[in-house]
Chains A and B, each alone.
Chain A
Amino acid sequence: MEEFVLMKGNEAIAEAAIRAGTDGYFGYPITPQSEVIEYLAAAKPHERTGMVLLQAESEVAAINMLYGGAGAGKKVMTSSSSPGISLMQEGISYIAGSELPCLLVNVVRGGPGLGTIQPSQSDYFQSTKGGGHGDYNLIVLAPASVQEMADFVSLGYDLAFKYRNPVMIQTDGALGQMMEKVKFKPQQPRSKKSPDWATTGKTPDRERIIITSLDLDPSRQERFNEKLQVKYRTIKENEVRYEKIQCDDAEYLFVAYGTSSRICQKSMQMAREEGIKVGLFRPITLWPFPYNEIREMAGQVEGMLSVEMSAGQMVEDVRLAVEATVKVDHYGRMGGIIPSSEEIVEALKQKIIGG
């Protein structure tokens, strides 16, 4: 039996990556996530599983290494933080456009520009609404504990390969840097088989394989886009994940993910001690977003407060979900500041209950 160990979120991702049978990690140092590559470098993954580890010369190079490795049918991943993820956007669009699986980790820090290195959730739009060019979507998972940081690595790979689509774990500097206890799944062997769409060398028994996102004929390109849209609809129907905490008797609702959802749990306890019945809805997949499930809550509660470490990004999806049937507002802090649980209770009173 595996036992609990204490680890930083970033380290947990790294250990989980080795255990999930990752074939290759390519990345470039950036705070607050450099522990991922540092942990891997110390853990000698090549000796443990044969996993390849390479510090690339830039994020542009790293994402294109992923593109190559994914095209060869391998389990590949990278991790970075906001400015680095911005640099990767072109490559991410190519990977989505070529229908390749890969795992991306964004340990978000405050922006825009070089910003701060403190935790933030201001990359929500970037990861859920495209980021790069073209009509594509990433599957976006938002862990809220170190255990989930670890668990979502293998979940991410499963989804990426099931749908041949890039998956992003979107977390932040707080979850990356904090330690909690975590239990790892046993080592999974690296896959020996290659998927039949991978470029592994043309043998006489099959047609040649081409990995590309190019089609100069607009009608064929449109047909390809329609195929992508069918895939995205299937994902929306099957892969929505969320958690409801104390929602049964809730008269008000916090909607929050990741670090914000942890703080909201404390706010919820505080508010309930004052007799305010507030529940917490935590989206786990930011894309596909749990529109229907939040809409259902609109019939039950008197108002919703979207709590985010941003100027208010996810709140737009909450509003879309409830279609103006219930009051929705946003409370957040920006630039790397984490809101306190007291502030959030106050915001609930001011913006939703009193307002």
Chain B
Amino acid sequence: MTEEIIIAGFGGQGVLSMGKILCYSGVMEGQEVSWMPAYGPEMRGGTANVTVILSDNKISSPILDTFDTAIILNQQSMDKFESAVKPGGLLIYDGNGITRHPEREDINIYRIDAAEEATKMGSTKTFNMIVLGGYLKVKKLYKLESVIKGLKKSLPERYHHMIPVNEKAIHRGLEIIKEVATVN
């Protein structure tokens, strides 16, 4: 199995850490992983994105132009990455602030209103974990316990008291993700 993912949104949405948790989940199940962020001053308050590859085999290029999955968290990223999903691939997006919804007909599209849900849950910081939960629901990549282990690994010790809240958020994500359109 090889899964090539782009996660893209605003800086501060937890895009990079979500990628890292996915990677650590993969490591927990013995996989090869790579995490390649876009970096530089243009990231300041602007967009942030990370390419994550999870694979049973050695990973060749960590830099990609097309993806099995795109997780899209703002309009700019929608404009940039909708077209980069491979035919038959998966696009997950948060509807918050989206003015142009995805239009492709050859990919599977899911929507998860995680920003709204995070506000409801009273912790906007869990936003990315809700999205992660949604993604795991659709892709069923890892056992939940590996993901929690991965979460533990990627959080510094002083934030470990946050793990139960994050776990709850992942579960919420599993519940609220909605299918928009699928091909097969």
Do chains A and B make direct contact within the complex (CB under 8 angstroms)? yes
Known A6-B33, A117-B40: A269·B62 in contact at CB below 8 Å: no
Contacts A178-B34, A181-B33, A262-B60 given; indicate if A340 touches B20 (C-beta within 8 A): no
Determine whether A174 belongs to the interface, using a CB cutoff of 8 Å to chain B.
Answer: yes
Category for how many chain B residues contact A: 20 to 34
Contacts of B59 in A (CB 8 A): 180
The answer to the question of A49 belonging to the interface, with a C-beta cut-off of 8 Å to chain B, is no
Residues of B near A266 (CB, < 8 A) are 60-61
B contact residues around A5 at 8 Å (CB): 153
A225 within 8 A of B: no
C-alpha spacing A268/B32, complex, angstroms: 19
From A177, A179, A180, A341, B61 is in contact (CB under 8 Å) with: A341
Query: Cα distance A267–B63 when bound, in Å?
Result: 12
Complexed CA–CA distance, A262 and B62 (Å): 7
The prevalent SS among residues of B at the interface is mixed
Within 8 A of A (CB), among B41-87: 41, 59-63, 65
The answer to whether A178 and B27 have CB atoms under 8 Å apart is no
The digit string for A235-268, where 1 denotes a CB below 8 A from any CB of B, is 0000000000000000000000001001101111
**Among candidates B27, B36, B62, residue contacting A6 with C-beta atoms closer than 8 Å:** B27
How far is B53's CA from A341's CA once the two chains are assembled, in angstroms? Answer: 15
Which of A266, A268, A342 has the most chain B CB within a 10 Å cutoff? Answer: A266
Is B24 part of the contact surface with A, judged by Cβ < 8 Å?
A: yes
CB closest chain-B residue, reference A263? B61
Indicate whether A177 sits within 8 Å of B27 (C-beta atoms), given known contacts A6-B33, A265-B61, A266-B60.
Answer: no
Q: Is B146 an interface residue (CB 8 A)?
A: no
Residues of chain A within 8 A (CB-CB) of B61 are: 262-263, 265-267, 341
Q: How far is the CB of A229 from chain B (nearest CB, A)?
A: 39
Q: Is B142 an interface residue (CB 8 A)?
A: no
Known: A178-B62, A262-B61, A269-B60. Is A173-B39 also a contact (CB below 8 A)? yes
State how many residues of chain A have any CB contact under 8 Å with chain B: 26
- Assuming A178-B36, A178-B37, is B65 touching A6 (CB within 8 A)? no
Q: Say yes or no: A177 contacts B62, CB within 8 Å.
A: no
A181's partner among B32, B62, B65 (CB-CB below 8 A) is: B32
Bound: A212/B160 CA distance, A: 54
Other-chain residue from B33, B40, B65 in contact with A180 (beta carbon distance below 8 A): B33
Contacts A6-B20, A6-B33 given; does A181 touch B27 at CB 8 Å: yes
Q: Which residue of the partner chain, among A177, A179, A342, contacts B65 with CB atoms under 8 Å?
A: A342
- Answer whether residue A338 sits at the interface, using C-beta atoms and an 8 A cutoff: yes
A26 to B8, CA, bound (A): 36
Q: Please provide the 3 A-B residue pairs with the shortest distance between their CB atoms, ordered closest to farther.
A: A265-B60, A266-B61, A179-B35
| Other contacts beyond A178-B34, A179-B23: 7, CB < 8 A | A32-B39, A179-B35, A179-B36, A180-B33, A263-B61, A266-B60, A267-B61
Chain A residues at the B interface, C-beta cutoff of 8 Å = 4-6, 31-32, 117-118, 173-174, 177-181, 259, 262-263, 265-269, 338, 340-342
- Would you list 30 pairs from A and B whose C-beta atoms are within 8 A, ordered by A residue? A4-B27, A5-B153, A6-B33, A6-B35, A6-B153, A117-B41, A173-B39, A177-B36, A178-B34, A179-B33, A179-B35, A179-B36, A180-B32, A180-B33, A180-B34, A180-B62, A181-B23, A259-B63, A262-B61, A262-B62, A262-B63, A265-B60, A265-B61, A266-B60, A267-B61, A268-B60, A338-B63, A340-B65, A341-B61, A342-B65
